[in-house]
Amino acid sequence: MTDIIQRGLYFEEFEVGARYLHRPGRTATEADNVLFTTLTMNTQALHLDAAFAEAGEFGQRLINSMWTLSTMVGASVAQLTQGTLVAQLGLGDISFPHPLYAGDTLYTESVITEKRLSNSRPGQGIVTITHTGRNQDGVVVATATRTALMHCRPEEG
């Protein structure tokens, strides 16, 4: 019997233009929102105070956008970077064009937009990934670009 260990992709396995649909989705709960918001010391009433939020523009509490970002990136790990990532180098072009609410399900897709071998780290390469999060209705709720330093495929033997 052969043991197979789940891993992400090595640098050589990434293809520019490839799109990955990460499933299953993740349904956001009120507990997720309150726990994440309080753990990160974010006192924003739009996340914690139901009465305040109900009287505001959205009519209900919003899921913390940092939870959305973290969950969106996290959804990609098993398929793309598990065990093959050296380091996350940066996040950029982050936007939240539509709110996510408790009870919404976040679905994430990732597109590989660039890759190049590292000039200073032999055996490693830099991959740029654009993540998009959509709710259950297909509405984009978040986007972000992530730059990751990845291991190249190990040499045989």
Which domains does the chain possess? 11-28+63-151 (3.10.129.10)
How many CB atoms sit inside 10 A of residue 7's CB?
15
DSSP 8-state secondary structure symbol assigned to residue 136: T
Q: What is the mean pLDDT of the chain?
A: 96
Whole-angstrom CA distances from 141 to 33, 61, 105, 138 are 15, 15, 11, 9
Phi, psi (rounded to 5 degrees) for 156: -65, 145
- CA Rg value for the chain: 18
> Is 157 a residue whose pLDDT tops 60?
no
Greater confidence (57 vs 1) lies with 57
- Percentage of the chain beyond pLDDT 70 is 99
Q: What gap in Å lies between CA 98 and CA 56, rounded to an integer?
A: 15
> What is the value of pTM for the model shown?
0.92
Average pLDDT over residues 106-134: 97
What is residue 30's predicted lDDT score, i.e. its pLDDT? 96
Could you tell me the CA-to-CA distances from 125 to 9, 46, 91, 107 in Å, in that order?
Answer: 12, 40, 17, 27
